[in-house]
Amino acid sequence: MLDAFDFFTVVFLVGPLSSQFSVSKTAIVLTLTATLAMRPVGAFLFGLFADRFGRRRALMANVLGYSLLAAACGFSASYGMFLFLRALFGITMGGEWGVGSALALEASSRRRRGLMSGILQSGYPCGYLLAALSAHFLLPAAGWRAMFWVGGAPALLALYVRSRVPESAAWRRRRAASTREILGQLRLQWRGFLYLVLLMTLMMFLSHGTQDLYPDFLHTVHHIPAAAVSLLAVLYNLAAIGGSAFFGQLSEIRGRRWGMIAALALALAALPLWAYGGSLLALGAGAMLMQAGVQGAWGVIPAHLNELAPASARSLVPGLAYQLGILIAAPTNSLEYALKNWVGYRTALAGFEFIVILGCVLAIAGSHERRGIEF
């Protein structure tokens, strides 16, 4: 939730940051791309560390790193400094998902793994929701810098992790004897790993393609005031939280692949309202259904990836596949923003996501799953 808050803060500040640093909106969108592109570095470093030396230490380092860098962004004196800090932030943000998902799912029972997966992934729209609330209340009162300074507060969580969170018992039992053994898993299972990278690439196209530019789309095309946009973001992220938990639990009953495809079907059905709605009510309904489906599919991902990963590399493999997907999909925002100049903002978003959703369904339907395996 908290690293997503720090990332999505920029989504609501495209206009203010563009004015502050006297650069185009395209340049600010580039900082989002830089953050996404640097995340695989963090996934590799922190994932390898977590599989070799423990989940708790890696998680504490992640929390401290992204909190301090988020706060530092609020002191940026120039666009170059801001871009540099957002790239560094991407490294620390990149390590968190693989380490955190392994620790959480290794601590849950097999019967509740799907629900835990959905609850875990719902932290992402929760972070988006917090960013929207901050944009609505904090931004007008205290300015854009304060939104980044608030992002430094999660550093205190490192103390909680240190004092209250136990190390994973599954990691202790399956701990790799060396770094070479962990890396060897990538070589032995390279085909499965490449599939996970492909799946994560498509899923990143789905999530970032429907979330990052949507506030700017509502403001630019439909002339919805910033305050109303942030409130609408609150609503569609509440729907996303519910969808994540619902489809995560559904995957425990019907299977991981079936649960994801059902969520994607909902997103596909919502596409016309989401992009072409003619009123605020229609757009709001489309956005809520869209994010319930998008994050519903994502709610299955932590369990699905951790079940497909080898035991001795359960932080590295899912985390690195996840973040390499981010790297490949990093130009999503720039592509959509450029495409709007050719076909219009509505068709750029809708056409892009129509193709992505179909690709996700094909990739999932043609794969396998290991639901309920013993960690």
How does pLDDT run across 241-293, given as a tens digit for each residue?
Answer: 999 999 999 999 999 999 999 999 999 999 999 999 988 899 999 999 999 99
**314 backbone dihedrals φ, ψ, rounded to 5°:** -75, -20
Structural domain for 329, as ranges: 2-365
CATH number of the domain that residue 240 is part of:
1.20.1250.20
Residue 162 pLDDT greater than 80, yes or no: no
- The stretch 193-221 carries a mean pLDDT of 91
Question: Do 183 and 310 contact (CB within 8 A), yes or no?
Answer: no
> Residue 265 and residue 205: Cα distance in Å, rounded?
16
Q: Is 102 contained in some domain? A: yes
Question: Do 87 and 41 contact (CB within 8 A), yes or no?
Answer: no
Q: Is 214 contained in some domain? A: yes
Q: Residue 362 has which token pair?
A: 């094909």
> Residue 228 and residue 43: Cα distance in Å, rounded?
36
Task: Give me the pLDDT at residue 8, please.
Answer: 80
Q: Token match 């890396």: residue?
A: 183
pTM for this entry = 0.85
Q: Is 113 contained in some domain? A: yes
Residue 320 pLDDT greater than 90, yes or no: yes
Task: Give me the pLDDT at residue 296, please.
Answer: 96
Question: Do 101 and 47 contact (CB within 8 A), yes or no?
Answer: no
Question: Do 74 and 146 contact (CB within 8 A), yes or no?
Answer: yes
Q: Is 330 contained in some domain? A: yes
Q: Is 370 contained in some domain? A: no
The lowest-confidence range among 177-181, 280-284, 359-363 is 177-181
Question: Do 147 and 25 contact (CB within 8 A), yes or no?
Answer: no
Give residue 76's region: left, alpha or beta (phi > 0; psi -120 to 50): beta
Q: Is 18 contained in some domain? A: yes
DSSP string, 312-328: GGTTHHHHHHHHHHHHH
**Count of CB atoms within 10 A of residue 169's CB?**
11
Q: Which of 368, 200, 358, 351 is nearest to 265 (CA)?
A: 358
**Count of CB atoms within 10 A of residue 339's CB?**
16
- Computed over every residue of the chain, the mean pLDDT equals 88
Q: Is 371 contained in some domain? A: no
The lowest-confidence range among 1-15, 110-124, 188-202, 296-310 is 1-15
Question: Do 265 and 281 contact (CB within 8 A), yes or no?
Answer: no
Total domains in the fold of the chain? 1
Q: Is 374 contained in some domain? A: no
Task: Give me the pLDDT at residue 160, please.
Answer: 78
